[in-house]
Amino acid sequence: MHLKINKIACLWVGFLSIFVCTSCQCAFSKDKQYSKTYFEYFDTIITIIGYEKQEAAFIEKTTQIEKLLQEYNQLYDIYYAYQGINNLYTVNQQAGKQPVKVDQKIIDLIVYAKDMYEKSHQMMNIAMGPVLALWHQARSFAMDYPEQASIPTMQDLEQANLYTNINNIIIDEVNQTLFLKEEGMSIDVGAIAKGFATEEIAKYLMQAGEIPYVINAGGNIRVLGLKPDGSQWNVGIQNPDLLSSQSQIEIVSIRNLAVVTSGSYQRYFTVAGKQYHHIISPVTLMPSDTFVSVTVVSPHSGMADALSTALFNLSIEEGMALIAKLEQTEAMWIDANYQIHYSTHFQDYQYQGGKYE
């Protein structure tokens, strides 16, 4: 008899714990959202968002991510030298002089960038350093002395453009060296390094499987997996009209993809009332004025980054043809009249209430 009542008690305990647990939706084992922000890498704000049951797991991953960020930031830096390492600054300094032994991570980036040069109809060229440097100087000067701001002369730009042949970047994979054949050449990886490094961080995170994480490198978004509730990540795309009350002009609902938006509103300076932004056409050597914003959704963050720049420099038709050849890759253009154009299958990524599936 005594035994029997104990059995009933056990049953009750079991039943009640199930009841309590479901009524509170298992609050004790629920994934919580954590985030960490870095200000010191790639000249931008980088935020990692992740869902974990334990904070320790998040801290462990972000500690490793910070190490990677630090490393990639130093290796891909074109403006500063760091003690004890050869980075892209070193390579640029040795242009026309000698090959420089570099880390495999630099070789990987340059190989990828050369491939993207071909894939992008030659519209994303990391050898454009000399031209971009003139624009960079003009923009920096304009920030300090807005009254005396001016744009580079066409003569200077054309002179600089003589040293932008990407085939003169010599990669020696066996000896792990990089060599710029001509003096006056320089590499500028501004259109690809951030995206490429973001993808490397995504690769690190994916070692743990399809975990619900997002990397936001200054608006370069890379999402992993699905959120714990099983829904996709909703990524808002910045409205290029910054004065509008609606901050996002579009929402994409995605998993395991990268979203990169290049906008003329992001970095620019003003001369005589006209705005000059940071995306320079390899053809005209001037800022491309066809679009105010181009967004690329792609499985690889480096590709999304490079293509968002390249598409800025191409017509809609050329851009559409380019996108059509790439798997799972779609684009959205906003032209100077704020008209929106979509690539053929962009709608597959558009938010349609998929959150509640």
Partner 1 sequence: MIRKYKKDIIFIVAILGVALLLFIVFQLTKKPGKYVVITQNGKEIAKYELNEDRQVSIPYQEGKYNVLVIRDQKAYISTATCPDQLCVKQRSISKVNETLVCLPNKMVVKVIGDEPPHVDIMSGKS
CB atoms within 10 A of CB 59: 13
**Run of H or E including 41:** strand 32-41
Residue 351 beta carbon to partner 1: minimum distance, rounded to whole angstroms: 5
Which of 9, 111, 154, 162 forms a contact with partner 1 (CB under 8 A)?
A: 9
Comparing CB distances to partner 1, the nearer of 90 and 216 is 216
State yes or no: residue 328 binds partner 1 (CB under 8 A).
no
Residue 81 beta carbon to partner 1: minimum distance, rounded to whole angstroms: 26
Comparing CB distances to partner 1, the nearer of 178 and 260 is 260
Which of 95, 259, 303, 306 forms a contact with partner 1 (CB under 8 A)?
A: 259
Instruction: Return d(Cα 129, Cα 188) in angstroms, integer.
Output: 5
Residue 93 beta carbon to partner 1: minimum distance, rounded to whole angstroms: 28
Closest CA to 281 of 116, 125, 118: 125
**CA-CA-CA-CA torsion for 111, 116, 122, 128, nearest 10 degrees?**
-60
State yes or no: residue 356 binds partner 1 (CB under 8 A).
yes
* Two structure tokens written together for 328: 């799972």
Residues between 27 and 56 with contacts to partner 1, criterion CB under 8 A:
44, 49
State yes or no: residue 293 binds partner 1 (CB under 8 A).
yes
Residues between 195 and 214 with contacts to partner 1, criterion CB under 8 A:
214
State yes or no: residue 292 binds partner 1 (CB under 8 A).
no
Comparing CB distances to partner 1, the nearer of 119 and 267 is 267
Closest CA to 262 of 274, 280, 246, 283: 280
State yes or no: residue 219 binds partner 1 (CB under 8 A).
yes
Closest CA to 50 of 218, 256, 300, 224: 224
Comparing CB distances to partner 1, the nearer of 5 and 272 is 5
Residue 259 beta carbon to partner 1: minimum distance, rounded to whole angstroms: 4
State yes or no: residue 230 binds partner 1 (CB under 8 A).
no
Which of 216, 301, 313, 329 forms a contact with partner 1 (CB under 8 A)?
A: 216
State yes or no: residue 236 binds partner 1 (CB under 8 A).
yes
Which of 130, 190, 263, 302 forms a contact with partner 1 (CB under 8 A)?
A: 263
State yes or no: residue 264 binds partner 1 (CB under 8 A).
no
Distances in whole angstroms, Cα of residue 319 to Cα of each of 123, 186, 257? 10, 27, 20
In whole angstroms, what separates CA 96 from the centre of its chain?
31
In whole angstroms, what separates CA 171 from the centre of its chain?
24
Give, rounded to a whole angstrom, the gap between the first and last alpha carbons of the chain.
51
Q: Read off φ and ψ for residue 36, nearest 5 degrees.
A: -145, 135
Instruction: Return d(Cα 260, Cα 275) in angstroms, integer.
Output: 22
Distances in whole angstroms, Cα of residue 264 to Cα of each of 13, 297, 302, 354? 63, 18, 20, 31
Interacting residues toward partner 1 by CB under 8 A:
2, 5-6, 9, 12-13, 16, 19-20, 23-25, 44, 49, 214, 216, 218-221, 223, 227, 233-238, 240, 247-248, 251, 259-263, 266-267, 293, 295, 351-357
